[in-house]
Structures are given as C-alpha cells and as structure tokens.
Amino acid sequence: MLNKIIVSFVKLLPESIVYIFAKKYIAGPNLTDAVSVTKKLNSMGIAVTIDVLGEAIRNKEEAVYEKNECLRVLEIIKQEKLNANLSVKPTSLGLSIDKEFFLTQMKELLNKAKQYNNFIRMDMEDSRYTTLTIEAFKKLQTEFNNVGIVLQAYLKRTSDDVDELNKTKSNYRLCKGIYVEPEEIAYKEKQKIRQNYLMLLEKMLKNKSYVAVATHDDYLITNAYKLIEKMNIKKDLYEFQMLYGVKEKLRDKINKDGHKIRIYVPYGQHWHAYSIRRMQENPQIAMHITKSIFKFS
C-alpha cells in the first residue's frame, strides 16, 4: 500500500524533478550515455544488454524509428568493441500494430546482429502480448540462432511454454514478471512465484538450454547457485542478469563468485514510463527516489 502511495505521488511530480533521482536506474536519454555506462561496467568484467526505451508506439513510422535506433546500438557495440548485446520490446518495433511488419523489422535487426556476431533478446511485455511474442519468436528461431526470449515466472502458463520451447533449445531470460496481471493467470504470493521460478529454472537447465537468471531476489540467487552446483551446469550455459542501479553489492558479489553477470542498461527519451513501472515493481527504488526528493527539497 505504501509503495502504491509513493508511486502515485511521484507520478504527480514534474519529469525534470523525477529524472534527477531516476537517472540512477537509466543510462540517460542518449546512446552516448548507454555507451559510457557500458564501458564502465565492462571495465569491471560485467557484460551488458542495452535497451532502447520506447513503449508508446502508435504507428509504423515510430516503429521504424525505434528499429533504426536499435541498428545504431548494434553498430556502436561493434565500433566500440563493447561486451554487450541488445534487448528489444516487441511492441516498440510494431508487434501490436502488425505481426508481419514486426517480423520484417526483427529480421533486419537479427541479420545485422548476425553480421556483427551479436545477439538480440526479445523482452516479454504484459499478457496481451505473451502468445504473440512467443509465436513470433518461434518463427524467428527457424531462421536465426542469435535470438532469445524472456519468460515470466508469475504467469501460470509459463511451465507449458517452457515445455514447448525446450524442444528447440531456446535461449531464455527467466524473470519473475513485473506487470499487474489478474489472479486467474498469474500467481500473486511471493513464495509461490519463487517456487515456480526455481521449477522453471530447473526445467531449462535440465534441457541444457542457455538461461539468463534475471532476478534481484537473494533467495532465488542462492537457490540458483545450489541448482547450478547440484546439476554441474557449465558456465557457458547460464548467466545472471540484473537491472542497472539495483543491488550493486549483490551484482559485485555474483561477479566475484565467478559467475557471468549481465546488466540491463536502458536509455532513451521514454525514460519516465520505464522509471514508473520499475518503481511499481521494486519498493526499494520508489523509497529511494522519495527519500531523495524530500532530502533535495
């Protein structure tokens, strides 16, 4: 309840004020900002996935603009020799407008990524797009081996999705899930989500699929460590992933423990919507921003 009140309060503030404190969790509005953050993380032995923030696409022209920005990301990664790949939101490239148009956009990006020996991860959005995203991913898989998908542990359907996608040794990012979904389709209890997460992770690892273990939950990370050790999983079959600016001490511990870790680094003009969504997901972010605002005042 407190978190909801805080988020509602922050939504009322001018964007210029929110940005002062939200910038801890985004690289900045420009690609040069993302490059700077990526270089810093790379110097610490940490990999990166860069995300172009674009969540309010209304037409194909805007989707093409987002695609071109993603091409710029791939080009700068190559030019600067960054240890980074690309994450994309399917709706930012037109999935909600026209599925075939989206596939054409993705194929252009994947061809460029393949040319540069790079990889693209398709993010998962809210449940309106789950089936569409998985169907598109399966089609792209038939042509490309440098594409991955995100699955969400709080969705009740995900176990069946893993069973299906395991048939093709899919490349996964497994996260808890951040969108507000109805109880009919999503688990709500914290421990139930954790249990489902670990069950899904074990399924993926048993299949020898590549898995990005994406979480800031100490409980899940501790149990992922145990699973990896118990199943004797090779280090080239998994990595850990975290958001930029969140639990940096835990990030550094995972890195020090010898596990590959990749940080999700978002940038772009649509930073406000991203920041609000992350605050809704993570009370620590909301509380940090609110305390900073009152201190600043």
Using alpha carbons only, give the angle 193, 145, 136 rounded to the nearest 5 degrees: 60
Cα distance between residue 149 and residue 109, in whole Å: 15
Helix, coil or strand: residue 132: helix
Cα four-point dihedral sign 206, 209, 212, 214: negative
- Structure token digits, residue 246: 């969140």
Q: Of 51, 121, 123, 194, which is the active-site residue?
A: 123
Q: Which residues pair with 152 in a beta bridge?
A: 175
Q: Which residues pair with 175 in a beta bridge?
A: 152
For residue 19, report the phi and psi dihedrals to the nearest 5 degrees.
-60, -35
For residue 82, report the phi and psi dihedrals to the nearest 5 degrees.
-85, 145
Cα distance between residue 218 and residue 187, in whole Å: 20
Q: Of 173, 194, 251, 278, which is the active-site residue?
A: 173
Catalytic residue list contains 157: no
Q: Which residues pair with 85 in a beta bridge?
A: 49
Catalytic residue list contains 277: no
Cα distance between residue 238 and residue 228, in whole Å: 9
As annotated, the active-site residues are 123, 173
